[in-house]
Amino acid sequence: MKDFSLDIYRELLEALLAKGYKLISYRDYVMTSCRNDETSKSRKEEEKFVILRHDVDAKPGNSLKTAQIEKSMGARATYYFRIPEVTKGGQKGPSGMSYPEIVRAIVKLGHEIGYHYEDMSLCGGDVEQAWGHFKTWLEYFRQYYAVETICMHGAPRSKWDSKDLWKGYDKETGKNYDYKELGVIGEPYLDTDFSDVFYLTDTGRCWDGYKVSVRDRIPGYQEEWSKKGLNWHTTHELIKAIEEGKLPKHVMITTHPQRWTNDSIAWWKELVLQNLKNIIKGLIVG
C-alpha cells in the first residue's frame, strides 16, 4: 500500500481505534482540558485520545475525502482553512465543487472548522492592519461555522511568523491583541499542554520532517520526544508503533490533506515536489 494515500490514512485511524484512542477535534480537547475538577483530571489521565488536526493549505477537495473517511469511523476532526483558497471563491475545483460548498459539506459531516491565519504575511508585516484583517476573516468563516479555534499557517517561505500578530497591541489601552476576546477558545500552538500531548505532523511528507521545518515544530519538547525514540518516518512505521503500543496516550496529529490521495498522478506529483522542497529547506536550515 502506498504511503500518503487515502487507504493508508484509513488504516492509520483504524489502528488508533483498535488501540482504544478516541479521535477528537481540537475544540473537544480544549473543552475537556480546561475543566480542572478531579473527575475530569483522572479521566483525562486514563483516557487515550488523538486530536485530528488538518491544515487545508491547498486542494480543499482532498479534505472532503478525509472528512468522509473520518465520519464513517465516528471520528470528529478539525479543518483549518486559509484565505488564499477562499478567494478562489465560487470557482469550481477539480472535484466539481466550489470552495464554500466544500466547507459546508465538511461542516455537515460534523467536523470542526477553524481559521488557518497568516494575516501578518498577507499584510506585509503591518501588525495593526493584520489585526483588522484577522477580525474580518474570522467573521467570514463564521458564516459557515461558529469558529472557536484558530491555527497559524506556518508559511515557511514568508519572513513573518503568523503568531507575531499576538505581539501587537492597542495603542490606546496598551493591551495585546487577544483572540480570546473574540470568542476564540484555542490555538493549537499556544493553548496545548505539550508536556502532556505528543505532537506529530506530516510536514515534509513524512512524520519526522520537524528536522527540516522552520515553524511547524514544538520548541523545547521535540528534542525530548526524539530522545525517547518517538520518531517515525513513514506511515507504515507509525502504524506499527501504534500496534506495538509505543504511541503516547495523548497525541495531536496534523495532516495536510492535499498530500493524501489515491489518484496516481497527483500522488507522484506530490512526492516529487515535496522531495524538491525538502532539499531546498535542508539547504536553508543546514
Residue with cell 492592519: 129
| Beta carbon of residue 27, minimum distance to Zn ion (angstroms, whole number) | 18
Instruction: Indicate the residue among 33 and 254 with the shorter CB distance to Zn ion.
Output: 254
Instruction: Indicate the residue among 58 and 97 with the shorter CB distance to Zn ion.
Output: 58
Stretch that binds Zn ion, among 21-29, 133-141, 146-154, 194-202 (CB under 5 A): 146-154
The rounded radius of gyration (Å) of the Cα atoms in the chain is 19
Burial label, 125 (beta-carbon count in 10 A; 0-12, 13-18, 19+): middle
Instruction: Indicate the residue among 28 and 216 with the shorter CB distance to Zn ion.
Output: 216
Rounded-to-integer distance, Cα 43 and Cα 48, Å: 9
Q: Does 55 bind Zn ion (CB under 5 A)?
A: yes
| Beta carbon of residue 55, minimum distance to Zn ion (angstroms, whole number) | 4
Rounded-to-integer distance, Cα 80 and Cα 114, Å: 5
For Zn ion (CB under 5 A), the number of binding residues is: 3
Stretch that binds Zn ion, among 58-66, 152-160, 219-227, 242-250 (CB under 5 A): 152-160
Instruction: Indicate the residue among 55 and 187 with the shorter CB distance to Zn ion.
Output: 55
| Beta carbon of residue 1, minimum distance to Zn ion (angstroms, whole number) | 26
38-46 and 26-33 helices, crossing angle to 10°: 130
Q: Does 57 bind Zn ion (CB under 5 A)?
A: yes
Stretch that binds Zn ion, among 44-52, 151-159, 203-211, 240-248 (CB under 5 A): 151-159
**Nearest position to Zn ion, beta carbon:** 153
Q: Which of residues 17-36 bind Zn ion (CB under 5 A)?
A: none
| Beta carbon of residue 119, minimum distance to Zn ion (angstroms, whole number) | 13
C-beta neighbour count of 136 within 10 angstroms? 11
Stretch that binds Zn ion, among 39-47, 56-64, 221-229, 230-238 (CB under 5 A): 56-64
| Beta carbon of residue 153, minimum distance to Zn ion (angstroms, whole number) | 4
Q: Does 216 bind Zn ion (CB under 5 A)?
A: no
Instruction: Indicate the residue among 247 and 270 with the shorter CB distance to Zn ion.
Output: 270
List C-alpha distances in Å: 195 to 16, 49, 224.
21, 15, 10
| CA neighbor of 141 nearest in space, from 184, 110, 181, 109 | 184
Stretch that binds Zn ion, among 44-52, 123-131, 148-156, 180-188 (CB under 5 A): 148-156
Rounded-to-integer distance, Cα 272 and Cα 177, Å: 40
Applying CB under 5 A, the residues found at the interface with Zn ion are 55, 57, 153
